[in-house]
Amino acid sequence: MHIVYQDAIVRGHPIEQLCADRGWQAHHLDPMHFQDATQEIERTLFKSVLGKGEPVVCLTAIRLAMQAPHLKLPTLQRGIIASKWKLTWSNYAAVLPNDVLLNPFGILFPWQHLKTKDAISCLRGSFGDKGVFIRPNSPWKPFAGFPTTWDGYEYNINSYESLESIEPGEICVVFPIKEISNIEWRFWVVAGKVVTWAPYSWRDMEPSAQRMPQGMLEQVERVIGRLEGYEDSLVIDMVETDDGIKLVELNGLSTAGFYEGMDVSALFNALPTMFGQPAL
């Protein structure tokens, strides 16, 4: 097997050693020389994989998933385990039960319409005066989702426009604003089975907060069951709320960042099962 990895995704985990221990080949992608690096890796993979049927798995940033189809990188592209269509919120939200989703009801608007009077009237009438949460519908995440009160609504949108290159037609999903735990949990799923997990937070976590909430793993299994026939290798982000354990979002197995506390060895041992081979 060939593992193509990027430091921004694996975040310090010893990918080279993990590959060497399994007799696999690791290929480091340097984003500072993206064009040259991807072409060089593609040539290397094409020569070694052609005729041998050796699997390729990419653990790389969204940029490669976005650009591989346009850069003529067929070998790299087949190693990207992240379907834009399947990971788009409006698509997977239609597959999963409402009571599983953190935000089962969202309103879609193109970015350029968010500041129009009609959009604001619609959103405020639907979600009330507390505020809203705005995120891209696309899993390629051209901007990070953000909460905003109505007082700061126009300012926040203007700020994002000045900081990010957001296309006017970029489809956004708007939800009612919610207070949730600052600790979320990421589950890596390979061929329909949970293989490892880890908590993550944008703030410091107390050791006691790093224990998985009761019933969370069972809820993840429920999500996997509902995704059967839709997608079976992916990353599932969950959070505990006052209304129960909810799914925050789905992410690509290739493009989701690693976190401290996950068992990367278990993840690697499970990767062959995606290709009809036994787990290690």
Convert the pLDDT of each residue in 214-245 to its tens digit: 999 999 999 999 999 999 999 999 999 999 99
What class is the 105-176 domain? alpha beta
Stretch 37-46: mean pLDDT:
93
Q: What pLDDT band is residue 69 in, cutting at 50, 70 and 90?
A: confident
209 pLDDT above the threshold of 70: no
All structural domains of the chain with their residue ranges: 2-80, 85-90+180-275, 105-176
Residue 222, C-beta contacts closer than 8 angstroms, at least 6 positions apart? 100
3-state secondary structure of 94: coil
pTM value is 0.95
Closest CA to 252 of 28, 74, 79, 73: 79
The pLDDT, as a whole number, for residue 35 is: 92
CATH of 85-90+180-275, one of 2.40.160, 3.30.470, 3.30.420, 3.30.70: 3.30.470
pLDDT of residue 272: 98
Distance CA 276, CA 53 (A): 12
pLDDT, tens digit (0-9, with 9 covering 90-100), for 114-153: 999 999 999 999 999 999 999 999 999 999 999 999 999 9
Confidence check: pLDDT of 202 > 70: no
Chain-centroid distance of CA 243 in Å reads 24
